[in-house]
Amino acid sequence: MNFKQFALGTAVAVALGSSGFVQQAAAEDSNYIPLLTYRTGPYAGSGIPIANGMSDYFAMLNERDGGIGGVKLNVEECETGYNAQKGVECYEATKGKGALVYNPYSTGITLQLIPKASVDKIPVLSMGYGLSAAADGNVFPWIFNAPDTYWDGASVVIKYIAHQEGGLDKLKGKKIGYLFLDAGYGREPIPLLEDLAKKYGFELLQYPVPGKEMQNQSSQWLNVRRDRPDYMVMWGWGAMNPTAVKEAVKTRFPMDRFIGVWWSAGDDDAAAGGAGAKGYKAMNFSGVGTEYPAIQDIVKYVIDAGKSETDKAMVGSTLYNRGVLNAMMVAEAIRTAQEKTGKKVLTGEDMRIGLESLDLTAERLKEIGLDGFAHPMKITCEDHAGSEPVFIQQWDGAKWNKITDWFEPMTDVVRPLLEAAAKDYAEKNAPWPARTEPCPN
Amino acid sequence: MLYDIFIDPFVQMVTMPDFFLQVLWEGFVTGILYALIALGFVLIFKASGVFNFAQGIMVVFAGLTLVGLHEHGIPAYLALLLTIVVMGILAYGIERVVMRPLVNQPDIILLMATIGLTYFLVGFGEFVFGGEPKQMIAEQLGLPTGSTAFEMGERGLVILQHIDIAAALIAIIMVTALAIFFNKTRIGRALRAVADDHQAALSVGISLNQIWAIVWFAAGLVALATGIMWGARSDVSFALEIVAFKALPVLILGGFTSIPGAIIGGLIIGFGEKIGEIYWGGLVGGGIESWLAYIIALIFLLFRPQGLFGEKIIERV
């Protein structure tokens, strides 16, 4: 075998091993949904359950209902490896196939797609991640981040800590540590946390974790040990989460004072810490478990029918169900867009109308078999985030348990800051297009 | 500012001696683990004069094979044995398919081949084991868990993780065994001959193919030990491949051809980056250890371009 043959063999092996699935080509009689997923690389641990949850929900709709409104869903995955450059490549490769909406599953990719969305007229749904300021629909008509922005999440976690301490006034003098992936994602809530620190008088201690050091966090946790924060808040992803939980256990940090964002709420993340991880908390906005009729339908029509490669044990886990929630929001936006436009096969522009008119009431959630799975949510032209309540869950050593009722974000504090940040973004990226899209509500 | 740079860190070290000891311990353990990774690179470099880009993914591959076999119901020790066999087959395969056709080719070709091998192993590993991180079967392998805490003064505490102690011991044993093997045996001497000149080694009857297979197998064993130890500290995932490249500054510092260099280099980087991050990192917002290691290595290079223990090659015209 010469070098050329070897190189060719390697290229084929890489393509086979890491290209993800390439499913059906876009068809004119279907609604095309590209999924930017990552089943490979350092973030695959978080990416796989989410990708499975999304794919399986869409597959279930196709199998059970024949799609949405009688039109099949044509779902195609494109592997990004959580890499912004690859994410943009996936976007460019799929946008011409009639993409309805993009779910980048990366704040880095989302930031790259924001300027493209209004040009290509394809909405981006960064569900609970991405640029917080994009919640201002007047500035970002094509970007959606319901049900919550990172700033909403940061405000909830501070509110929860205050609740534990006996009130917001009790935060004065406290030390709150913030352990974050040193990337666009982890840095996103810092402005709000700094603002809240000033407002309520607590000290914010920052512990950045470079992407290359995700599995080597002993320095960060030594600093935690020295600084003795009263609480630790984590914005982690991929391999960073289980490592942080292990290090927290190792450092003997009180786990019931360690709270992760909803992306640090995976079952594997907490389980990595073994028995010592008991007590670890995380925010969440999607149900856990398989007792929901829609999840049961996924098992019946997709998993048991052998139409998915998802391990049955994964169904119902936090991140799998998060993928289901994301897919459900897309599906409901399609349904809404079909009602609003009278069309069955949609375009990106139709999808934006569907998203801006999305009103998931408790009754509707019950109707689709997800009663209590998520808080009712409503997106409007002005508010693309909804800033819906979230709850806190706690790891009992074997599974997550919901330990609080729904917690409202501090919208009174967050919303003006979001609007100011949106204005600032538009000014810094001038000439930012003024909204011309009519409001469907 | 000057106080924060030149005085405060030392005041902290004196006023919180327990914490300083903890930092030193973490630096020691991290350094030993870096040394273990660097050792894999050194072995291949000594034998073929090439930087083995695939060493990082070999760590992941070995760890995943071990855990993957155990997940299929194979007892831990048998899985360990089978993983060693797999690494042996891999070594033979690499020698047969990658190295043998490239004998006497320029080093850059061999480097490119190891890059190709990396991507092949990434794709193959994901194809066989999936992309999900897996938990290392440390307990099943009889590795100790838990920790021992030593009280110092009124509030002082130094915590030693048993797995870290085991990692240090295993690394020391492996390094000693490899040092003896390569310095005191015929194969070791043959290896040094191969490293100096492929053609000259062949001319005196040394089997290049055999030496390369042995060295790749030894590097595979080192990768397995590294995978177990790093995997036990976090988990076994493809992110470990990135950690493996922390061995680069260790190699720059210790020299690419020296086993003691890998050890001393690993320890200097381990101690240096922990002390730097903890006592000075805060001055620039933290998270400096990913590049601090390279700064330390470059400072050493100013004084010893061949690394601490690297061979000084003088080419006369």
pLDDT of residue A169: 96
Section A201-230 average pLDDT: 93
- ipTM of this complex: 0.85
Separation CA A280–CA A265 (nearest Å) = 9
pLDDT of residue B315: 62
Closest Cβ–Cβ partner in A43, A212, A243 for B234? A243
Question: If you write DSSP's letter for every residue of B232-256 in order, what string do you get?
Answer: HHS-BSTTHHHHHTTHHHHHHHH-T
Give the H or E element holding residue A234.
strand A231-235
With an 8 Å Cβ cutoff, are A208 and B287 in contact? yes
- Pick the most confident of A3-12, A193-202, B182-191: A193-202
pLDDT of residue A344: 95
Best probe of the A interface among B119, B124, B143, by most A CBs < 10 A, is B119
A122 in Cβ contact with A101 (< 8 Å): yes
* pTM of the predicted structure, to 2 decimals: 0.86
With an 8 Å Cβ cutoff, are A3 and B278 in contact? no
Section A362-389 average pLDDT: 96
With an 8 Å Cβ cutoff, are B287 and A250 in contact? no
> Could you tell me where the DSSP H helices lie in B160-317?
162-184, 186-196, 198-203, 208-233, 240-244, 247-254, 259-279, 289-303
Domain segments of chain A as ranges: 18-149+291-387+420-428, 150-287+390-412
Contacts of residue A308, Cβ cutoff 8 Å, sequence gap at least 6 = A52, A55, A56, A59, A302
Q: Which residues of chain B have pLDDT under 70?
A: 310-317
DSSP collapsed to 3 states, A310-339: CCHHHCCCHHHHHHHHHHHHHHHHHHHHHH
With an 8 Å Cβ cutoff, are B131 and A39 in contact? yes
With an 8 Å Cβ cutoff, are A2 and B290 in contact? no
Pick the CATH number of A18-149+291-387+420-428 from 3.40.50.300, 3.30.70.3460, 3.40.50.2300, 3.40.1640.10: 3.40.50.2300
User: For B87-127, what is each residue's pLDDT tens digit?
Assistant: 999 999 998 998 888 877 888 898 899 999 999 999 999 89
Closest Cβ–Cβ partner in B234, B273, B290 for A239? B234
With an 8 Å Cβ cutoff, are B122 and A14 in contact? yes
Least confident piece of the model among A144-158, A313-327, B125-139, B181-195:
B181-195
Q: Is residue A3 over pLDDT 80?
A: no
Contacts of A18 in chain B (CB under 8 A): 122-123, 126
Least confident piece of the model among A101-105, A195-199, B5-9, B173-177:
B173-177
With an 8 Å Cβ cutoff, are B22 and A16 in contact? no
User: For A216-236, what is each residue's pLDDT tens digit?
Assistant: 899 999 999 999 999 999 999
Q: Mind telling me how many Å the CA of A136 is from chain B's nearest CA?
A: 31
Domain segments of chain B as ranges: 2-32+50-244
Class of CATH domain A150-287+390-412: alpha beta
With an 8 Å Cβ cutoff, are B131 and A271 in contact? no
Q: Is residue A4 over pLDDT 80?
A: no
Pairing of strands A231-235, A175-181: parallel
Q: Is residue A25 over pLDDT 50?
A: no
Best probe of the B interface among A40, A79, A219, by most B CBs < 10 A, is A219
With an 8 Å Cβ cutoff, are A182 and B135 in contact? no
Section A238-265 average pLDDT: 95
CB pairs under 8 A between A and B: 167
Higher pLDDT, B104 or A358: A358
Contacts of B37 in chain A (CB under 8 A): none
pLDDT of residue A19: 42
The confidence band for A363, taking pLDDT boundaries of 50, 70 and 90, is very high
pLDDT of residue A318: 92
Least confident piece of the model among A71-75, A156-160, B29-33:
B29-33
Count CB-CB contacts under 10 A for residue B277: 25
Contacts of B234 in chain A (CB under 8 A): 214-216, 239, 242-243, 246, 272
Higher pLDDT, A7 or B177: B177
